[in-house]
Amino acid sequence: MDILSADFWVALGTIVFIDLILAGDNAIVIGLAAKNLPHEQRTKAVIWGTLGAVAIRVIATIFVLHLLKIPFIQLVAGLLLIWIAFKLLVSDDDHGNIKAGNSLMAAIRTIIIADAAMGIDNVIAVAGAAHGDTILVIIGLMISVPIVVWCSTLFIKLTDRFPVIIYLGSGVLAYTASKMMTHDKKLTGFFEDNPAVKWMLMALVIIGVLIAGKFVNDRKASQKNEAVNTP
């Protein structure tokens, strides 16, 4: 992809935004893993743990980029990304199983292992947004990782205050998912010949994810209100 093209910058912006919107768990992991360390060691744990996690994520994403060239894999990955987009809206994650490290190396190890275990959604989403471009993946992570490390707490507060950001992020993920599905090696010819079907599918995926997420969230809120108001 030409670095001077609009497509390149749109894809790069999408990767950075996806990294940020999925960064909440990473911020919590980093905070929990380093909280028992002396203050002077916390920054080292955050920096080295994050660098290790990013290195693994870059390798995993490049691996997934190559996997996506296999017929029907983009279709499967797109379907999985639809679930990730929905989960982003309705998830109430519990991070009580992340144990704080009592030494610098233990904290770094915890950050790397936990991030690798939790980062599959990020890897699939970034690989889909990169359209097979390894340079895009690396540049996107280089831009977003410092933001994730130093500004993730602020971003979490913003999403708490303005929930529409989460819906926007879920919409971007759903769009990326539908684009992956329509660009699958075995299906791209059909969708190129039938652009109306392509755009209809993409619209249905995005609207479907957002409506389903809103429905589940409203239902949860209603159940909580009933529980509070029940004597």
Per-residue pLDDT at 210: 94
Residue 141 belongs to some domain of the structure: yes
Q: What is the pTM of this model?
A: 0.73
Does the residue 82 lie in any domain?
yes
- Letter string b/e over residues 1-26, b meaning 16 or more CB atoms within 10 A of that residue's CB: eeeeeeebeebbebbbbbbbbbbbbb
Low-confidence spans in the chain with pLDDT less than 70: 1-2, 23-36, 91-102, 114-119, 145-157, 159, 228, 230-231
What region, left, alpha or beta, does residue 72 occupy, with left being phi > 0 and alpha being psi -120 to 50 degrees? Answer: left
Domain span holding position 123: 6-229
Q: Is there a domain that residue 98 lies in? A: yes
pLDDT confidence of residue 152: 54
Tell me: the pLDDT tens digits for 139-196?
887 777 666 666 655 666 676 788 888 888 888 889 988 988 898 888 888 999 999 9
Q: How many domains does the chain divide into?
A: 1
d(C-alpha 217, C-alpha 223), whole Å = 10
Answer whether residue 129 is part of any domain.
yes
> What pLDDT, on a 0 to 100 scale, did the predictor assign at position 115?
67
- Report yes or no on 195 lying in a domain: yes
Look at residue 68 and tell me if it is in a domain. yes
Cα distance between residue 155 and residue 40, in whole Å: 24
pLDDT of res. 198: 93
Please measure the distance between the N-terminal and C-terminal CA atoms of the chain and give it in whole angstroms. 62
pLDDT score recorded for residue 114: 67
Q: Is 1 among the domain residues?
A: no
Q: Is 57 within the bounds of a domain?
A: yes
Q: Distances in Å between the alpha carbon of 102 and those of 29, 92, 219? A: 15, 27, 41
What was the pLDDT predicted at 201?
A: 94
pLDDT at position 11: 84
pLDDT at residue number 48: 80
